[in-house]
Amino acid sequence: MENFGIGSWLQRRRPKSGSKIALVSGDRHISYEEFSERTDRLANALRAGGVAKGDRVAYLGENDPAFLETLFACGQLGAIFVPLNTRLAPREIAFQLEDSGAVALIHSASLSGLAASGAEGTQVTRRVVVGDSFPGDGGAPLGDEVREGPTAAEDYEAVVASGAPLHLDEEVRLDDGAMILYTSGTTGRPKGALLTHGNITWNCINVIVDFDFSSADVALMISPMFHVASLDMGVLPTLLKGGTVVLESRFDPQRILELVERHRATTISGVPTTYQMLCEHPAWATSDLSSLNKLTCGGSAVPMRVLEAYEARGLRFSNGYGMTETAPGATTLPAARSRDKAGSSGLPHFFTDVRIADVAGGRAAQGAVGEIQIKGPNVIHEYWKRPSATAESYEDGGWFKSGDLGYKDADGFVFVSDRLKDMIISGGENIYPAEVEQAISELDSVGSVAVIGVPDAKWGEVPRAVVMLREGAFLTEDELKEHLAGRLARYKIPKTVVFVDHIPRTASGKIRKSELRASAVS
């Protein structure tokens, strides 16, 4: 084969695991044979429609086999897959489509309105709809073509059926781009992290080595695959090994517990909030969880009460640290060390190096706090069309500057002292205050604004806006939230707004967010 990227995985897996179930989605059970053939057909159909090597194809939708078929079809063509967060507002979707230069958009029928609005005015020339009806049309079957918005929408199944069942072997190297994943920037403008086929492959190898994935694994996906942690830490390593992936389109604690029993799931990848909701559900105590042997968690530390609830059922977490730019794994805490190394993010993944750098850029002394920097084949080479951001993100020698502070103990375990300066992590979603502040500042009545994270029992933390109005201006909390609706994803909109007469600043004029956070919890 000339394709050494992820687009060749199903073709290589097909003769080894053809009749084995690769994907489960509701009542659908898809074998590796069928999965491979459908992906081949889609790749041919996309090529016939003009998608070529290097082109970008976006996907907007919940967890569904079509998501993975599109990913692997793009991999066959050497095209670049662009997964979009379903919780974004139309303006945010439009920005990512425009910035990536996506020529095609595949999306769920339930998100047709969002997709049509987001694609309007962009270079998207083809929309393909996954699902058998548009919302609000009375459930009528979707024809081969439906006109909605500026671009005709085609039926996904009709597109797949139109493609030839022949595997394409485009030349693809490990350094070629495979995915663009958008991560909010500290300046308020999202950046596209360009993950190569090598980044994804090496991350999967790290996962397989450090978590002992096998072909017998059944991975239950309780988090959306447009998040790199769900896709690259759970789905792709399982498929690489020939295991089974169970896809769920939304998170419902009772149903997840039922699915663990029904499919004898062995692994779950999630964030502390989802794990907390599972163990607090009334069905938790009576559910059969004996098949589970791998629970991976990221986003933030697991609360002790949640850790203890799982330990009471004989289960332990493998907590970890990483980011989109590291595809995403950087470190992982072995489950066996969850107690004696409590609070640690663990050791570097097998083929990844992590160092703590001092202010001069050199290696910090043991136990000294410095910037966490990562190096390895899983680390991205560049941000999409952001040469200055790329240049600013690396130290000499290729060390990626995380912007996070931490230290290593005598055994080499990494402890994260503080997150990327002001980032808020709410229920596993990253929220960058600068983006929210920029949107709030559009209001003429706002003189100054700071967005901070405040503790929340359910989501870990949620955003709060601290607003100083212009002299003589008037603004209510409801009016501010109404302004943000449609401009930002709902999870980014501040849950509370506090109006103040003064916002503390440093001598250089920077807002003292540490003081605001301290007063919020005092």
Question: Tell me, what's the pLDDT at 360?
Answer: 80
Per the rule left: phi > 0, alpha: psi between -120 and 50, beta: everything else, 367 is left
Q: Are 447 and 464 in contact (CB under 8 A)?
A: no
Residues 80-123 pLDDT 10s? 999 999 999 999 999 999 999 999 999 999 999 999 999 999 99
Instruction: Look at the chain and count its residues.
Output: 522
Confidence of residue 185 (pLDDT cuts 50, 70, 90): low
First and final C-alpha spacing in the chain: 62
Tell me the Ramachandran region of residue 519: left when phi exceeds 0, alpha when psi lies from -120 to 50, beta otherwise: alpha
- Ordered structural domains, the chain, with CATH: 6-18+27-172 (3.40.50.980), 431-521 (3.30.300.30)
User: Side chain identity at 268, as an amino acid letter?
Assistant: I
- Residue 506: what pLDDT? 61
What's the pLDDT at 184? 67
- Mean residue pLDDT of the chain comes to 91
Phi/psi at 226 (nearest 5 deg)?
A: -70, -10
Whether the CB-CB separation of 403 and 185 falls below 8 Å is answered with no
Phi then psi dihedrals of residue 446, to 5 deg = -85, 120
Asked which of 19-28, 404-413, 425-434, 475-484 is least confident by mean pLDDT, the reply is 425-434
Q: Which pLDDT does position 522 carry in this prediction?
A: 61
Asked if residue 421 has pLDDT above 80, the reply is no
Average pLDDT over residues 489-515: 86
Confidence (pLDDT) at 187: 53
| pLDDT at res. 67 | 98
* pLDDT attached to residue 135: 38
Which one has a higher pLDDT value, 343 or 387?
387
Neighbours of 444 (CB within 10 A): 9
- Quick one: pLDDT at residue 140? 31
Q: Which residue has the higher pLDDT, 259 or 151?
A: 259
Name the nearest CA neighbour of 126 among 163, 99, 156.
Answer: 156
Q: How confident is the model at residue 302 (pLDDT cuts 50, 70, 90)?
A: confident
Give the bridge partners for 401, in sequence order: 373
User: CB–CB of 185/193 below 8 Å?
Assistant: no
- Which residue shows structure tokens 């980014």? 492
- Report the range of poorest mean pLDDT among 386-390, 430-434, 489-493: 430-434
Of 149, 75, 72, the closest CA to residue 118 belongs to 149
* Confidence at residue 141, expressed as pLDDT on a 0 to 100 scale: 35
In this predicted structure, the answer to whether residue 134 has a pLDDT above a threshold of 80 is: no
Kind of pairing, strands 126-130 and 151-155? parallel
Model confidence at 418, in pLDDT bands (50, 70, 90)? low
Residue pLDDT, tens place only, 11-52: 999 999 999 999 999 999 999 999 999 999 999 999 999 999
The percentage of residues in the chain with a pLDDT greater than 70, rounded to a whole number, is 93
pLDDT digits (tens, 9 = 90+) for 246-275: 999 989 999 999 999 999 999 998 888 889
Is the N-terminal amide bond of 494 cis, ω within 30° of 0?
no
Q: Are strands 244-247 and 399-408 parallel, antiparallel or unpaired?
A: unpaired
Question: Is the CB of residue 38 less than 8 Å from the CB of residue 31?
Answer: no
265 and 288 in contact (C-beta within 8 Å)? no
Average pLDDT over residues 202-207: 98
State the Cα–Cα distance between residues 186 and 192, nearest whole angstrom. 13
pLDDT confidence of residue 147: 42
Calculate what percentage of the chain has a pLDDT beyond 90. 76
**In the predicted structure, residue 431 carries a pLDDT above the cut 90:** no
Count CB atoms within 10 A of the CB of residue 245.
Answer: 26
Predicted confidence at residue 521, as pLDDT, reads 72
The tokens describing 450, both together, are: 């700071």
> How far is it, in rounded angstroms, from Cα 78 to Cα 323?
24
**In terms of pTM, does the model score above 0.95?**
no
